[in-house]
Amino acid sequence: MSSALKSDAVAFLKQLQSDICRTLEGFEPEARFQSDVWSREGGGGGLTRVIEGGLVFEKGGVNFSEVHGDLPADFAKTLPGGGTRFWAAGTSLVLHPRNPYVPTVHANFRMISQGDVFWFGGGADLTPSYPFEDDVRHFHRTLKNACDAHDPTFHPRFKAWCDRYFYIPHRAECRGVGGIFFDHLMPGDSGHDGEALLAFVKEAGRAFLPAYIPIVEARSALPYGERERAFQSWRRGRYVEFNLMYDKGTIFGLQTGGRVESILMSLPLNASWRYDHRPEPCSPEAALVDLLKPRDWASEG
């Protein structure tokens, strides 16, 4: 991996964090992101930016990190490279809006090297409590356009990968309505070199705001009550279960001695677990279950 490619990736990831935070703060009359610069014991560090108590965003975090050092030997064997030396840089975000009609959203874009091998990973996915199908189609189409600009095989691959990845086995349901997800994307994949893959990652990262912000603008002023907030809290419990049990970013961060507060910023401010709760049949809440199944959203309508 050339130093120029690494520097280019780091500069993009830092700028992406800045652009996203600035845009999100535009929705808030008072709440602002708090910035927390941190260092990692073993090498590297990052900038965690968290917003809480906003009128639109109840809690959100947008992290940048660049870390390096040695991986635990057992964990190193699960990755594509050789040895235990690693370097990783990434920007990740999770936003939990206050209004139940505005979906939670997650995105992550990263570059990792282990020994002489390097690869890219990332994606973006949507987790609504009360989905509007037009919003879901818009989200998927925006990400599809970003993929298609670089390789027509990317979107079908990464959309299907996302559907598989954000599945909660013990609940036998998808976490949300998907998006795109990719990992271990390395030079040679579909004939692309490192520069071409970084160009795709940049395109996908820049597509996040156009994919999500129109949904926030359309739904954040819709009226809601205690019923909707209670259902949102219950659905957030599913989000917590996935992130703590299956999410690769959480596992990688904890396995590499990452900063716990930054890793767990993805969790909502509030969530609930009601015993054996089942939404009323034919209710708006019950309708969500029918949408938590893989669909070709980008081609509908």
Q: What is the pLDDT of residues 232-250, one digit of tens each?
A: 999 999 999 999 999 888 8
Quickly state the pLDDT bin for 211 (edges 50, 70, 90): very high
- Interval 127-180: pLDDT, tens: 999 989 999 999 999 999 999 999 999 999 999 999 999 999 999 999 999 999
DSSP state letters, 4-50: HHHHHHHHHHHHHHHHHHHHHHTT-SS---EEEEEE-TTSEEEEEEE
pLDDT digits (tens, 9 = 90+) for 64-111: 999 999 988 888 888 888 889 999 999 999 999 999 999 999 999 999
> What is residue 232's predicted lDDT score, i.e. its pLDDT?
96
Pairing assessment for the beta strands 117-127 and 167-168 based on DSSP bridges: unpaired
Residues 106, 138, 140, 150: which is the catalytic one? 106
- For residue 104, which of 135, 139, 60, 134 has the smallest C-alpha distance? 60
The pTM of this model reads 0.94
| Predicted local distance difference test score (pLDDT) of residue 301 | 67
Write down the pLDDT at residue 96. Answer: 97
- 155 catalytic per annotation: no
Relative orientation angle of helices 208-219 and 133-148, to the nearest 10 degrees: 170
* pLDDT of residue 253 exceeding 90: no
183-198 tens-digit pLDDT: 999 999 889 999 999 9
Give the pLDDT confidence of 277-287 residue by residue, as tens digits. Answer: 889 898 989 88
Q: Which residue has the tokens 């925006």?
A: 142
195: its two tokens:
């520069």
Cβ proximity of 214 and 138 under 8 Å: yes
Domains of the chain: 3-299 (3.40.1500.10)
The phi, psi pair for 139, rounded to 5°, reads: -60, -50
291 or 198: whose pLDDT is higher? 198
Segment 251-273 mean pLDDT: 85
Is the pLDDT confidence value at 1 over 80? no
